[in-house]
Amino acid sequence: MSYQVLARKYRPNSFDEVIGQDHIVQVIKNSIEQERVHQAFLFSGTRGVGKTTIARLLAKCLNCMSSDSPTSQPCNKCESSVSIQEGKSIDFLEIDAASRTGVEHMRELLSSVHTSPSVSRFKIFLIDEVHMLSKGSFNALLKTLEEPPSHVIFLMATTDPEKVPKTVISRCLQLNLKTVSRDELQEHFKKICEKEGIKSDDESLSLVAKSAEGSVRDGLTLLDQAIAHGNGKLVADDVKKLLGTIDDSLIHELLDSITDGRKEDAFKTLNDIEKLNPDYEALLKDLISNIHEVSLHQVLEDSSKEPIVNIASKMDEQYCQLIYEIGLNSFQKIHTHPSPREAVEMCLLRMLAFQPVQNMNTGEPKTQKKKTNKAQIKTVKKEKPQIDEEVAQESHGINSSSWPALFNDMQLSSFAKNYFGNLSFARLNDQKIFLCGSKDQLDIPEKIVSEFEEKIKDKFGNIEIGLEEGISSSSPNKINEENKIKDIENTKKELSSDSEIKDFLDEFDGEIEIVTKIKN
């Protein structure tokens, strides 16, 4: 078969065709035009971004015989340029360090360094995946790399520059290639489809560009697969099936259900997604990406996507950070899980289990609630309870003495206990319980406030909550802590008074230390 894959067919033949690496191209062009070409170059970057391609282009520029000196625009017609492009040049030696790691291979290579080029201007050595060389090979290369003959240029490429010795890096001009942006990849793929006569749409090209993750070669390989899968054309639905991706609307629906705490709806959406035969790793990645968008919008308010805006308006900022970490942790471990579907299910269960409120679907935007809560917080002077307050307290059995016990009896989430347990009972006045605390203690997420208000109404009827600044001297959490300390001290006294235990301690010069376990 004579078919040439797109990744090879559209490999750049000049620096003008290189995409996404303008900063590298500019450095090389300026070096050539100013005749300040370094003796050794180290190209580093992730897979498929153009390290070897740019190294070959540099070799063609240095050895192009269309001019009397190196040029930044190779002619691609002279014998030297054509032979380099076809991999047949005797003055351009390309070595795969992954298969030639030993020191004997390096010595064999270096033995030819002092030989003058046969037909070209320079003798150029390209060492690909240079980090794979052994320690002995690097040591053998050092002296020649530092003071090579004037007719020798070393070009090295690596995906892992951290494994290259610092002594080697210091002798090279290191050029770090970056991943190519999604927009640049999409535009590049669109031009290729036009040249190949392939019908395509922006959505399908965007999906391929997204899956390429910044790699031109990976993107072109996926483009080849998508064209074959679509029988010579690109259709978004076919590309989604090939890549295992799903529509953003389902991701938004899933995230909205998680935000509202609608467990059944969340798993119903997951079942709908399963019918599309998704790649569960890609599903988790998309979910994490959308949570990231929500978090950014909560701070910057710059999203143009209506579902993201709606979710951000009702999701608590701290909860958003929590489920992001849950999603990220699940994504890191999905490869070790026997069932990717179960891994995603457990991720959703964790997100739902850490819901800060019992009923999230209040329908009120977060920003509006926040204003209401802040309006309820005010600084007041302590006054003696009036007669109507005393009557109200007696009718509901709520006062400063009974409040800690009543608070502990309420079935609150751990979030609500942590926040409201630090506040002290101030008074009950006109069907409204006033709680006081410091300014920092009153900074409570609106959804936590909503949960607490509902629990208060369930227990005492139509009673509201008011928050005010004051000294929190007898909060439920503080009293609980004091009671624990008292229990520990009493236990310690009882043990110390036991004659057998006392004799045992005296014999071994010991003392009683009570260790308490913290329940999860």
Confidence (pLDDT) at 507: 67
Confidence of residue 404 (pLDDT cuts 50, 70, 90): confident
358 part of a folded domain: no
Instruction: Look at residue 520 in the predicted model and tell me its pLDDT.
Output: 39
CA distance linking residue 129 with residue 165, whole number of Å? 13
Last residue of a domain, one of 193, 223, 243: 243
User: Does a structural domain hold residue 267?
Assistant: yes
Higher-pLDDT residue of 357, 79: 79
Question: Is pLDDT above 90 for 15?
Answer: yes
| Distances, alpha carbon 196 to alpha carbons 155, 218, 241, 487, in Å | 33, 18, 23, 81
pLDDT tens per residue, range 427-464: 887 778 888 888 888 888 888 888 888 888 888 778 88
Report strand pairing: 378-379 vs 464-469.
parallel
DSSP of 442-456, one letter per residue?
Answer: T---HHHHHHHHHHH
Q: pLDDT grade, residue 20 (50/70/90)?
A: very high
For residue 337, the model assigns a pLDDT of: 85
Q: Is residue 141 part of a domain?
A: yes
Q: Kindly report the number of other CB atoms within 10 A of residue 173's CB atom.
A: 15
Q: Which residue has the higher pLDDT, 360 or 349?
A: 349
Would you state the structure tokens that stand for residue 65, as one six-digit string? 């015989």
Instruction: List pLDDT tens digits, range 316-347.
Output: 888 999 999 999 999 988 888 888 999 999 99
pLDDT at 417: 85
Whether residues 75 and 189 share a domain: the answer is no
Same domain, 162 and 37: yes
pTM for this entry: 0.62
Evaluate whether residue 1 is within a structural domain.
no
Residue at 204 is within a domain: yes
Q: Is there a single domain that holds both residue 292 and residue 202?
A: no
197 and 303 part of one domain? no
Is the domain of 226 the same as that of 339? Answer: no
What's the mean pLDDT in 82-89?
89
Whether 259 is covered by a domain: the verdict is yes
- Cα–Cα distances in Å, from 3 out to 7, 11, 224? 12, 15, 11
361 within a domain of the structure (yes/no)? no
Among 38-42, 305-309, 354-358, 456-460, name the one with the lowest average pLDDT: 354-358
My answer on whether 104 and 138 are in the same domain is yes
Q: Does the pLDDT at position 170 exceed 90?
A: yes
Question: In CATH, what number is assigned to the domain containing residue 338?
Answer: 1.20.272.10
Q: How confident is the model at residue 356 (pLDDT cuts 50, 70, 90)?
A: low
Angle of helix 340-353 relative to helix 263-274, nearest 10 degrees, comes to 160
**How large is the average pLDDT for residues 262-268?**
92
Instruction: Looking at the structure, tell me whether residues 52 and 160 fall in a common domain.
Output: yes
Domain shared by 111 and 163, yes or no: yes
User: Residue 295 pLDDT more than 80?
Assistant: yes
Residue 388 has pLDDT above 70, yes or no: no
Query: Which one of 159, 176, 193 terminates a domain?
Result: 176
pLDDT of residue 432: 85
273 pLDDT band, cuts 50/70/90, is confident
270 with 298, same domain? yes
Average pLDDT, the chain: 84
Residue 344 has what pLDDT? Answer: 93
d(CA 333, CA 327): 10
Q: What DSSP element (H or E) covers 94? A: strand 92-96
Question: CB–CB of 425/474 below 8 Å?
Answer: yes
> Final residue of a domain: which of 149, 176, 203?
176
- Residue 428, classed as helix, strand or coil, is strand
Instruction: Judge if 380 and 259 occupy the same domain.
Output: no
Residue 39: what are its φ and ψ, rounded to 5°? -75, -20
CA distance 413 to 451: 9
Distance CA 190, CA 259 (A): 38
pLDDT at 71: 92
- Number of domains within the chain: 5
Q: What is the mean pLDDT of residues 383-412?
A: 64
Same domain, 215 and 348: no
With a cut of 70, say whether residue 371 has pLDDT above it: no
CATH number of the domain enclosing 236: 1.10.8.60
Domain range holding 331? 248-353
> Is 140 within the bounds of a domain?
yes
Q: Are residues 231 and 256 in the same domain?
A: no
Q: Contact at 8 Å (CB) between 59 and 84? A: yes
pLDDT digits (tens, 9 = 90+) for 37-58: 999 999 999 999 999 999 999 9
Question: For position 10, which CATH number holds?
Answer: 3.40.50.300
